[in-house]
């Protein structure tokens, strides 16, 4: 089985595909998870992260279940809700319920404990949990949420997390700009990848093409180099785009 699909284009960009079926898997009954990078009981030295992006877990949580109080330190963590709702409580006194289209973000900094639960007793909920490494450690922990409407993401890259908090995005301690998008039909998006940066695409739903690389639900794509990225041929596509520190 081929573990990597490498493509070098004529604009000095190198693509490494991370197929959905090759991700690590976990099934605890109440939780079914797919790990793009090594996490928990899944360890693969070939997939320890990409730049300062170290965790992408695609989690499906049964009704009434979730993650009890547990600690984090020096990690920038966000939960991108794909379906259902996610309830958060933490040692800073924050509490919220975020539904589909919402994002919960926590800068763990010097240390925080939190819990995440599915507040519905009957419906499953799905979310992507992502961890980024901060530039500076042991900062004061923070928590924030944002809601992205369908129109926010339609045919465009909607910035929702960034180092400088620009364009109404949540401000992170990580050197990363994170975007959400949906793409359908003849919609096309172009984005420049600057020298000294890296990029990752994670397809949450549907299918999309990035510079002639076809991606389906659950696939990831690591991008190195400099040049223009083109997103097209979306079919009910929803994806995250990460512009990352080298």
Give 17's pLDDT tier (boundaries 50, 70, 90): very high
Distance CA 99, CA 83 (A): 7
Which tens digit of pLDDT belongs to each residue from 175-196? 999 999 999 999 999 999 999 9
Q: Does the CA dihedral 185-57-26-122 come out positive or negative?
A: negative
Tell the residue number behind the tokens 């401000």, with chain if given. 171
Instruction: Quote the tokens at residue 119.
Output: 């507040």
Range with the poorest average pLDDT among 45-54, 90-99, 168-177, 179-188: 90-99
For the chain, list the domains and their CATH numbers: 5-244 (2.60.120.10)
Count of C-beta atoms within a 10 Å radius of residue 160: 23
Instruction: Quote the tokens at residue 31.
Output: 């939780």
Residue in 187, 188, 168 with CA at minimum distance from that of residue 179: 168
Distance CA 25, CA 41 (A): 9
Distance CA 80, CA 131 (A): 11
Q: Which of 9-13, 47-51, 112-116 has the highest mean pLDDT?
A: 47-51
Distance CA 132, CA 75 (A): 6
Q: Give residue 48's pLDDT.
A: 95
- pLDDT reading at 77 higher than 70: yes
């Amino acid at each position: 089985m081929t573990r990597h699909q490498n493509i070098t284009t004529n604009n000095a960009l190198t693509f490494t595909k991370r197929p959905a079926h090759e991700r690590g898997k976990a099934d605890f009954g109440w939780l079914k998870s797919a790990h793009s990078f090594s996490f928990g009981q899944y360890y693969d030295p070939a997939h320890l992260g990409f730049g300062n992006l170290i965790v992408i877990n695609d989690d499906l949580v049964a009704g009434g279940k979730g993650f009890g109080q547990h600690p984090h330190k020096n990690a920038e963590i966000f939960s991108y809700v794909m379906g259902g709702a996610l309830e958060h409580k933490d040692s800073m006194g924050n509490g919220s319920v975020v539904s589909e289209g919402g994002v919960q973000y926590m800068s763990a900094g010097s240390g925080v404990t939190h819990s995440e639960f599915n507040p519905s007793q009957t419906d499953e909920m799905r979310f992507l949990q992502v961890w980024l490494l901060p530039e500076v450690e042991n900062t004061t922990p923070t928590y924030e949420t944002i809601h992205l409407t369908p129109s926010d993401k339609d045919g465009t890259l909607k910035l929702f997390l960034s180092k400088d908090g620009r364009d109404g995005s949540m401000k992170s301690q990580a050197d990363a700009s994170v975007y959400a998008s949906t793409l359908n039909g003849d919609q096309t998006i172009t984005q420049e990848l600057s020298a000294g940066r890296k990029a990752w695409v994670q397809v949450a739903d549907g299918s999309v093409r990035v510079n002639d690389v076809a991606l389906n639900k659950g696939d990831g794509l690591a991008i190195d180099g400099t040049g223009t990225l083109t997103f097209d041929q979306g079919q009910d596509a929803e994806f995250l785009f990460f512009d990352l520190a080298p």
